Amino acid sequence: MVLNLILQTLTIGAYAARLAGVQMLRIATSISLFNLFVTASRFANLFYSPMLGSISDRASAFARRGPAWTVLAEHQYDHQMRLIIFAGTIGTAIGALMLPTFLMLFRRGIAAFERLRSLPRAILRVANVGVVLDIGRSVQTPRPAEWRRFKVAHVPFKLIAANIIVTAVYAVGVVAAAYASLLDPHAARTAILASGLVNGIATISFTLIVDPTSAFITDQAVRGERPVEEVKSLVFYLSLSAIVGTLLSQALLYPAALFIAWGANLINR
């Protein structure tokens, strides 16, 4: 649960990269730092996924004791998976609340990279006690009174809707694959490795709709065709829609698990 919380917090924090790039007119550098956050979240996933597999193995062993145990194991397992997803929802909300802090970190990161001309050296500055204390003093908290400035009219509806769906599918993909391994033990290994059946849909949607549209809005702001306030609205509503998406993922968990189990059986045949 803690790992999924951290992973989702980092994912939302990456949204601030676009706004930092617009404010400092350093889009390419901000994209590089954005990729750093994405890499960090994927590194956390290296530990997160095997732990899900471990829970699935224990549940499968429990279910093999008999029919009554199978029902109990599935009930307990479903409860555990939903708790893990809910931890991701909390992480998404924390990431949204920390957006001003992430924005400050991205701005400092861009400035440090320009001075040092080395991303590893810029990152190692975090080990400096003085820098850490300075960052601590610079931490900003969101002010609810400012939220009224973010106009939903500045963000295309299809972008918000697509981000809700993409986030919901991403949040449930790996968990649903682990769930599918319990629903169909005969195709358990295939199911565990078939999370791409669900995540692939989200990746295509993100590549075709979410990323190009948000990038276009960002580029317009850099060229002066849009005010920076509209990019702030973009980041705000992408974060808000991500929270909604992780809540929606609770409803998608079991259908996604059945879909992956069906796909695993199809592959086996």
Asked, for residue 148, whether it belongs to a domain, the answer is no
Provide the number of structural domains found in the chain.
1
Task: Determine the pLDDT at residue 202.
Answer: 74
Percent of the chain with pLDDT over 90: 14
Evaluate if residue 46 carries a pLDDT over 80.
no
**DSSP count for the chain of H helices, then E strands:** 12, 0
198 falls within a domain: yes
Tokens linked to 194: 């078939």
Assigned domain for 246 exists? yes
CA angle in degrees (0–180, nearest 5) for 16-101-209: 15
What single DSSP character describes residue 207?
A: I
Mean of the per-residue pLDDT values for the chain?
Answer: 82
User: Is 149 a member of any domain?
Assistant: no
Q: Look at residue 262 and tell me if it is in a domain.
A: yes
More confident residue, 234 or 192: 234
pLDDT surpasses 80 at 35: no
In angstroms, the Cα distances linking 259 to 53, 125, 195, 243, 252 are 18, 46, 10, 24, 10
Which residue in the block uniquely carries the two structure tokens 């062993």? 61
Q: Report d(CA 264, CA 162) in Å as an integer.
A: 27
Confidence of residue 219 (pLDDT cuts 50, 70, 90): confident
Of 130-144, 216-230, 239-253, which has the strongest mean pLDDT?
239-253
Look up residue 135 and give its amino acid.
I
Mean pLDDT (whole number) for 81-104: 90
**162: closest CA among 195, 198, 211?**
211
> Which of 113-122, 135-144, 220-229 comes out lowest in average pLDDT?
135-144
List all residues 6 or more positions away from 210 whose beta carbon is below 8 Å from its beta carbon.
Answer: 159, 162, 163, 166
Residue-level pLDDT at 73: 76
Cα 180 to chain centroid distance, Å, stands at 22
Angle at the Cα of 232 from the Cα atoms of 228 and 236, rounded to 5 degrees: 165
Is 83 part of a structural domain of the chain?
A: yes
Is residue 52, in this structure, part of any structural domain at all? yes
Q: Containing domain of residue 45, as a range? A: 2-141+154-268
Inform me whether the pLDDT recorded for 249 exceeds 80: yes
147 part of a folded domain: no
Q: Is the model's pLDDT at 223 over the cut of 90?
A: no
